[in-house]
A and B are shown apart, each in its own frame.
Chain A
Amino acid sequence: MKKPSTKGRSMCGIVGLHLKEAALHRRLGELLTPMLLAMSERGPDSAGIAIYGDRALDGSLKWSLRASAGEIPWDDVGARLGRELDTIVQMRGVADAAVVTLDGDPKLVMKTLSEWFPDVTVVSFGHSVEVFKDVGRPAEICKRYGIAERTGFQGLGHTRMATESAVTTEHSHPFAAGADLCLVHNGSFSNYASVRRRLSDAGITFQTDNDSEVAARFLAYEIEHGADLGEALESLMNRLDGFYTLLVATESQFAVVRDSFACKPAVIAETDEYVAMASEYHALATLPGIDKAQVVEPMPREIHLWSR
């Protein structure tokens, strides 16, 4: 049988859950996992999850790392970082990924990592966020990283059907840029190369040639220069052309926006306990109290934003 063509079908699935009710924090992963799995058909080639959980102790940052050449002895990486940066390091390795918590200047941490472990890439860093992503079926990825057992106050997920760039772990979502900022995207940007050049000229470095990474770094750049997330999204809508439903989170905010044509789907459900977002409603159908939730479809260029 001929394999159905996926050309021109920029699907991808996105999900997000922002928990207002603290009693639900312990169930974040349990609630988010079926949401992501429901979106498997929209993006069977890769998947990723950002979990915003316990804040690292004062001054410390959590770093999500990935060994691009496969599993490595993470404890050795932790020990080396501790020695070079003269600090206490907490290391939690899961297969080819790890989360390391330490107190140190981010630039110095990145420099040390690239000097000693050139095969280790930084997936995200921040006070709260941890990011896990890989190529493969979403169900396998969730299982490998134990997403269903994770606690936290908000999470994002993405299932990818690649159109703009290669299918690799680095090219999958969420894209993290700056401390605690994560973005997931369904759609495609058309003028990202010129926006990327401008950002490069301003000293921003990119890990991939992916269009969504440009959007993430654009937002991080705007926020670093004084914008709040709402203002940064407003600038993004004026600067980046293309089709998009974006879900963006920081340590304190959770936002959804669609382009002016609103060709990419999105539904948002809100109750007293949570705000949930997904590409399609059936990804929300497993949430508690969804029957009583207010379900809305965001209008074009309308920024929906929640703060905690």
Chain B
Amino acid sequence: MVTLNCDELSTREVNSLLHRLPVGSAVTITNPRGRHNLAVGLSNALEVTIDGNAGYFIGGLCSGPNLTVNGFVGWSVGENLMSGSVRVNGNASESAGASARGGEIYVSGDASSRAGISLKGGTLVVAGDVGHMSGFMAQAGVMLIGGDARDALGDSLYEAVIYVAGAIDSLGSDAVVEDLEDSDVHLVKELISRSGFDHISPEDVTRVASARRLYNFEALSGVAY
């Protein structure tokens, strides 16, 4: 087990040491004290643990490692994740999983506003609540929310699908609730099993997807002006 102590290393040093570790290494980052940009851009399959509260962009741009944060994270955890996983044992601030193209992000607490913004194929599972404008313009991928969603969920959604176990304050523009099919229940079950957030009941989630009314301009809309 490798230990990288943030009290002794700069963020650049931590990341460059991580880049050089052989595939399969287990490493713990200690004393993060809210530091930004830890464990970003890694393409080697490592098992990384951040022990404590961390800052912005944790685990962003990675394609390979499995990252666990024992604490909360700031804005944009797993931003532009390509593959691998980021597990937050705590709360996440805004824009969790922003633009993630692949991989899995698990948040055991709540995520704040704009969770899953512009999701491009990744998977975001939040055990608790998410803030306003979550799933905004999400293009592909899946979100599962174990708690409630605040205002304007799924505004301007493309092809991503959002499942919500709790209440939805309001749907955003062009987001609609659709019937739950067997394939949805199956997928949610799979996500519950992978996340371990078993307080979610797969048959009782609400499926939110795009009504696709914003996909094209109506040729006659101009008449309204």
Binding site for B on A (CB under 8 A): 262, 265, 267, 280-286, 295, 297, 299-300
Contacts and interface: CB of A to CB of B under 8 A. Distances in A.
A297 B91 CA distance: 10
B34 A282 contact: yes
B93 A282 contact: no
A297 B112 contact: yes
22 contacts: A262-B131, A265-B74, A265-B93, A280-B56, A280-B74, A281-B34, A281-B53, A281-B55, A281-B72, A282-B36, A282-B55, A283-B34, A284-B34, A285-B34, A285-B53, A286-B33, A295-B91, A297-B91, A297-B93, A297-B112, A300-B113, A300-B132
Interface in B21-53: 33-36, 53
Contacts of B94: 262, 265, 297
Nearest to A299: B131
B75 interface: yes
Q: Which 9 A-B pairs have the closest CB atoms?
A: A282-B34, A285-B33, A281-B34, A285-B34, A297-B112, A282-B55, A262-B113, A297-B93, A282-B33
Q: Which of B33, B34, B150 has the most CB of A within 10 A?
A: B34
A280 B55 contact: yes
B34 A265 contact: no
Contacts of A297: 91, 93-94, 112
A297 B114 CA distance: 13
Contacts of A300: 113, 132
Interface of B: 33-36, 53, 55-56, 72, 74-75, 91, 93-94, 112-113, 131-132, 150
A283 B33 CA distance: 9
B154 to A, nearest CB: 17
Interface of A is mostly: loop
Contacts of A284: 34
A300 B114 CA distance: 12
A297 B56 CA distance: 14
A239 to B, nearest CB: 22
A274 B75 CA distance: 24
B221 to A, nearest CB: 27
B131 A282 contact: no
A116 B94 CA distance: 52
Nearest to B110: A297
B129 to A, nearest CB: 10
A282 B35 contact: yes
Contact of B75 (A265, A283, A285, A295): A265
B113 A280 contact: no
A262 B33 contact: no
Contact of B72 (A262, A280, A295, A299): A295
A282 B33 CA distance: 6
A283 B74 CA distance: 12
Given A284-B34, A295-B91, 20 more contacts: A262-B94, A262-B131, A262-B132, A265-B74, A265-B75, A265-B93, A280-B55, A280-B56, A280-B74, A282-B34, A282-B36, A285-B33, A286-B33, A295-B53, A295-B72, A297-B91, A297-B93, A297-B112, A299-B131, A299-B150
A9 to B, nearest CB: 14
Contacts of B131: 262, 299
Contacts of A265: 74-75, 93-94
Contacts of B56: 280
A26 to B, nearest CB: 25
Nearest to B93: A297
A286 B31 CA distance: 11
A20 to B, nearest CB: 22
Contacts of B35: 282
Contacts of A286: 33
Nearest to B112: A297
Q: Which of B33, B72, B91 has the most CB of A within 10 A?
A: B33
B162 to A, nearest CB: 20
A283 B34 CA distance: 8
B74 A281 contact: yes
B112 A280 contact: no
A284 B150 CA distance: 27
A286 B34 CA distance: 10
Nearest to B72: A295
Contacts of A283: 34
Contacts of A280: 34, 36, 55-56, 74
Nearest to B53: A281
B113 to A, nearest CB: 6
Q: Which of A281, A282, A300 has the most CB of B within 10 A?
A: A281
A139 to B, nearest CB: 18
Nearest to A283: B34
B173 to A, nearest CB: 15
A262 B36 CA distance: 20
Contacts of A285: 33-34, 53
B98 to A, nearest CB: 13
